[in-house]
Structure 1
């Protein structure tokens, strides 16, 4: 019986270890001279004053995820309110995508097993609201994407523009900077 318990505990620890091995950390940084309310699906949202950052841990296997900045937001103590751009249903912690216009950092983690790749891009298909930089910060992956203004060359401009997605090994960490 003790051997069986030990095997079960060991199996559980290995499963937990594998899950966290391929998770990703996203450091979201506001370098704008104004407050930005970053939102993330998954992840929620919060206020970042100029110079502040938000570390966000995202589970391995996350698909169709995105991070965007919201501007000119006002929320009450219960977390209800509105943003002029990127609003996600009138709440601080987003559970819905932001209303256009939004500059989007999009990603999928640990895809195409057994290759285990992350895919990332910037999209302005839904419009542009905040300058953005999206870059990997680990695993030797170095392709930085920049979108300083509407119609930037590093961003998806229309749905079939499939040359704008880049890949990194699973478990790579990333940085999203507003107003780089």
Structure 2
């Protein structure tokens, strides 16, 4: 009888845990407001072609960390979902299973972390390809980052790439720009990105003004060309 009670307790505990996990799962509405097609990508989540005005909704489990949403441009895929993109390509797959290739503007997040807070940001550490907005839409949380400047049009010549603007780490691969040793400072190139998009990460140690938080269970909207 004791083992039956223990089994019942375990089942009850599991159901409660599953219920809490579902309650704290986050919904992300991903919308393309660009006048051109963007192939949205998400890890976790996969990928979807979004023509102007189209939206793709994904649900992400509580506790998910190291997650990204980004836009891909100049893509061509066959019926099996294989092909390539000019920017943000993820191994030639429509349904991304890995992060995209730079340059790509990143919406990054980690759910239900320290003190059950969500941490989220826009990062230009992998460069820039599409203007982006990343804002909370529930729970009374209203503040999120935007990066809407013409970064590509005024990109320094050495950082220019087809369809985007590279971060200097991608181009030079030195510790000064990549911060591989764990410490580094702003550079003229990172200041260019920061000047265009003050809310966004401009280099790997740009934490102070670039990390946003909301209570766990908040929902979000990611907009290309807001």
- Give the match for residue 205 of structure 2: 160
**2:87/2:101 contact within 8 Å kept:** yes
* Deviation readout 1:36-81 (Å, 9 max, x if unpaired): 1010111111101111101110011111111000001100011100
Aligned residues: 178
Instruction: Give secondary structure in 2 for the equivalent of 1:176.
Output: strand
Residue 96 of structure 1 deviates from its aligned partner by: 1.3
Superposition pairs of residues 21-40 of structure 1, within 5 angstroms: 21-40=23-42
**2:144/2:212 contact within 8 Å kept:** no
Superposition pairs of residues 1-180 of structure 1, within 5 angstroms: 7-112=9-114, 115-149=115-149, 150=151, 151=193, 152-163=197-208, 164-180=210-226
CA pair 4-159 structure 1, distance change in 2 beyond 3 A: closer
Instruction: Give secondary structure in 2 for the equivalent of 1:47.
Output: strand
Instruction: Give secondary structure in 1 for the equivalent of 2:74.
Output: strand
Q: Give distance in 2, aligned partners of 1:111 and 1:56.
A: 20
Residue 15 of structure 1 deviates from its aligned partner by: 1.8
**2:71/2:224 contact within 8 Å kept:** yes
Unaligned runs of 5+ in 1: none
Q: Give distance in 2, aligned partners of 1:159 and 1:11.
A: 40
Alignment TM-score, normalising by the size of structure 1: 0.94
Q: Give distance in 2, aligned partners of 1:98 and 1:175.
A: 20
Residue 166 of structure 1 deviates from its aligned partner by: 0.9
- Give the match for residue 158 of structure 2: none
RMSD: 1.4
Instruction: Give secondary structure in 2 for the equivalent of 1:54.
Output: strand
Higher strand share: 1
Q: Give distance in 2, aligned partners of 1:118 and 1:144.
A: 12
Residue 159 of structure 1 deviates from its aligned partner by: 0.8
Unaligned runs of 5+ in 2: 152-192
Residue 144 of structure 1 deviates from its aligned partner by: 2.6
Higher helix share: 2
Larger radius of gyration: 2
**2:87/2:103 contact within 8 Å kept:** yes
